[in-house]
Amino acid sequence: MSTLSVDGQAISRRGSVSTHLSGAVDALARVLTRWSVPALRVALGLVFLGFGVLKLFPGASPAEVVAERTIDTLTLGLVHGPVAVIGTAVVECFIGITLVTGYLLRAGLVVMAVAFVGILAPTVLFFDELFGSGMTLLGQYVLKDVVLVAAATVVGAYALGARLRRAG
């Protein structure tokens, strides 16, 4: 191993690089600990807001038909057609706005928890159509909601007081 001499002191190059690397890793850990969950909250909010806004324009959302069928099925036909789609859009936009802004966040998280029943319902209600003969594009669209649920659990836990802590 090569060494450097500074003021008569032998310094290992490996130790120096290791020290700098360790310092960089610690700095990165501090940044991630502070900003990863807020970034996840905003990103999740933008996804909800984007999908919700699309549903406000007939024919713009690839999930419009499945949203309509799901709400119709879950409400036993009481809410159907454009009312189901617009209702879904309003709920998704509300969730998105609360996540992006942090305003009324707890209310948004409660609405999101309830909405996940409808969001994940197509995986059960229409399984054969979405995944029966291989995964369809709509099946992929619905399956990505599992990732949204996982992200929402992290954001919800953080909003209700859980905190990330660096080890050591």
In angstroms and rounded to an integer, the radius of gyration of the C-alpha atoms of the chain is 24
Mean pLDDT, to the nearest integer, of 11-31? Answer: 75
Please check the confidence at residue 71 and state whether its pLDDT lies above 90.
yes
Q: Give the rounded percent of residues in the chain with a pLDDT score beyond 70.
A: 90
pTM of the model: 0.82
**pLDDT tens-digit map of 83-117:** 999 999 999 999 999 999 999 999 999 999 999 99
- Report how many domains make up the chain: 1
The answer to whether position 20 is within a domain reads no
* Mean pLDDT, the chain, integer: 88
Which domain range does residue 84 map to? 40-159
pLDDT of residue 14: 55
Amino acid at 86: I
Instruction: Count CB-CB contacts under 10 A for residue 45.
Output: 22
